[in-house]
Amino acid sequence: MNRRTLIKLIAAFPFVSEAFLLNKNAASASEEKHLLPARWRARPGDAKWPKADQWQQLNLEVNGHLLQPKSLEEMFEKATASRREALLKNLENPYFRGDEPGLTQSAGWVDAWEAACSPYVVAAQNEKHVVAAVNFARENNLRLVVKGGGHSYKGTSNAPDSLLIWTRALKEITLHEAFVPDSCPGMRSYKAVTIGAGAMWMDVYNAVTTKGGRYVQGGGCATVGVVGLVHGGGFGSFSKHYGTAAASLLQAEIVTADGAHRVINEQRNPDLFWAIKGGGGGSYGVITKLTLKTHDLPEHFGGVSIQIKASSDEAYQRLIEHFIEFYSTKLFNHHWGESAKLNPENTLSCGMVSCGLSEAESQMIWKPFLDWVRGSPQDYTLNKAFIGAMSSRHWWDADWRGKNLARTIIKDPRPDAPPEHVYWTDNQGEVGVFLHGYESLWLPSSLLKRRNQKRLARALFASSRHWSVELHFNKGLAGAPAEALEAVRHTATNPAVLDAFVLVIIAGGEQSIPGLPGHEPNLSEARANAQRISNAMSELRPLVNHSGCYVSESSFFEKSWQQAFWGSNYDRLKSIKERYDCHDLFIVHHGVGSERWARNGFQRIT
């Protein structure tokens, strides 16, 4: 029997251990990795699931930080009525969710995944604990999951029957006046910040901006984990000015599938360094630490909050068209970010931010648009019009905001919470969300040309008939400074972002707790809403030649995900994945290399 025949026979038995095949003629196994049989992972109850003494040995190696967390069902089942009420309240707090190893920020996604508790969690306190966990998973053929902030909409930091590496405790933050990456002689030094894998962006902004007077490109949501954002590319409110978080990465420390702890940068493992800059989380190893360059702060950051109600469909279409024209002439530049929202009830809501503009400058820019609206009172009602600016150093200053803009933030109410632990009021609806649908699409800057504006406006209006349409201008980088664009060009993010003026997001969900009676999602309504969301995005897809979308904020069911997430970068990412993790220890839904699993019967990596 030749080797190819042997492989075909083994492929017919999906529960045969892959170790049998990999050990057979191991010297030439890499020649036919694409022919591996259906992947197999040990699960509780399997003969190959580690025995109690093996788990105890791992616990010793990680100095007693091997945990067996409780699921939400277990928490509620054993709680008194008062404790249940307190727990329900805590579940509205993203900091509480992040501090619980068995919880995630999202509750799940209809017909895709639901939050599930890993039977064992390594609460890593240092890189040695991560190495021990990686080696244990590899040697025992376990499903391995990595969680920092736990914000993945697609459940990539969550899986039943897995060993979870939880990096929450790795949250040290160090500022540098002159950082030079290791083994990079002659490279210029940078003002920078080194961040542990478990830190959240609010911790980083507090250290870098509020206290340090510098800017670091991070996420818009304060409780998102640092590493997950960089893995996805990383957009924040001011990305139109500074580029992505991944583009500011100078160095990282990562534990790869072979258990090696590596320092990576442009000179040391440069291919792997490039891959983690936007190549998707959970696919290449466990990052324990990263260093980002920091930037000068402008004098002002500002905000605009406007809501306009149109009296008819015809008036609404004119409003959309006029807003597009206004955006293309006045806002399509590096000073403006964040979003506008088009709603089915014919309202336009603008929640935008400014960078480097005073309050007077911003008001002058918006005046012609608001005058146009006020000039047609029979067609439009201006329900809200706030335009302001503040010292940029106060943007994430919890104390200052609490005294001056208390309505914009919510404090972590727990008595032992750090005073800087606040989050945006607008993000409350995302805490514990069970998603019905989530679609995103980059729109090219050519659509802003005058000859294309009516076509764009018609498509946006048609889309808003099905569902609310959000235009995230800071997540398309056309209009950014040349230096920022060049830095992003050297990341793994889909190059389509460079010419996109906006990322359109159409999404919806409900706050619920799957599996808890009285708090479960309405699945029939969720599926109906998912169809409406899909229909809304279908109105916009004819505007673009190639579908491109942001990997961290996109559909779980994206069919052409390789092209959509990474475009021309995908083949290079796949070869890097095969070099550092040829046996797919790190595998997530629609992560680089995951199609090998899907072809062999694992349609969903959850």
Residue where one domain finishes, among candidates 296, 327, 358: 296
pLDDT band for position 71 (cuts 50, 70, 90): confident
**Is this structure's pTM higher than 0.75?**
yes
Averaged confidence pLDDT in the chain:
92
Task: Please say whether the dihedral angle defined by the alpha carbons of residues 570, 495, 535 and 507, taken in this order, is positive or negative.
Answer: positive
Q: What is the pLDDT of residue 26?
A: 33
Q: What is the pLDDT of residue 142?
A: 96
Q: Each residue of 220-229: pLDDT tens digit?
A: 999 999 999 9
Q: What is the pLDDT of residue 6?
A: 35
Q: Each residue of 236-282: pLDDT tens digit?
A: 999 999 999 999 999 999 999 999 999 999 999 999 999 999 999 99
Q: What is the pLDDT of residue 38?
A: 38
379 and 305 together in one domain: yes
Domain count, the chain: 3
Is 450 inside any structural domain?
Answer: no
Q: How far apart are the C-alpha atoms of 383 and 470, rounded to whole Å?
A: 19
Domain residue limits at 362: 300-390
pLDDT score of 24 more than 60: no
Residue where one domain finishes, among candidates 253, 275, 296: 296
pLDDT score of 8 more than 50: no
CATH assignment of the domain containing 324: 3.30.70.600
Q: How far apart are the C-alpha atoms of 570 and 564, rounded to whole Å?
A: 10
- 3-state DSSP call for residue 574? helix
Is 279 inside any structural domain?
Answer: yes
pLDDT score of 88 more than 80: yes
Q: How far apart are the C-alpha atoms of 61 and 259, rounded to whole Å?
A: 14
283 and 358 together in one domain: no
- 3-state DSSP call for residue 259? coil
Q: Produce one character per residue of 78-115: b if its CB has 16 or more CB atoms within 10 Å, e if not.
A: eeeeeeeeeeeebbebbbbbbebbbbbbbbbbbebbbb
Distances (CA, A) of 263 to 130, 177, 288: 14, 20, 10
Q: Which two tokens stand for residue 286?
A: 């466990």
241 and 195 together in one domain: yes
Q: What is the pLDDT of residue 184?
A: 85
Q: Does residue 339 contact residue 472 with C-beta atoms inside 8 Å? A: yes
Is 151 inside any structural domain?
Answer: no
Q: Each residue of 524-534: pLDDT tens digit?
A: 999 999 999 99
Mean pLDDT of 426-434: 96
**Within 13 Å and on the Cβ side, how many CA atoms surround 171?**
20
Q: How far apart are the C-alpha atoms of 463 and 210, rounded to whole Å?
A: 40
List helix spans (H) across 425-517. 450-464, 482-489
360 and 307 together in one domain: yes
According to DSSP, the residues that pair with 108 across neighbouring strands are: 114, 434
pLDDT score of 7 more than 70: no
Mean pLDDT of 505-509: 98
Residue where one domain finishes, among candidates 296, 311, 346: 296
> Which amino acid would we find at residue 132?
A
Q: Which two tokens stand for residue 329?
A: 């002439």
Beta strands in 495-590 (DSSP E): 500-511
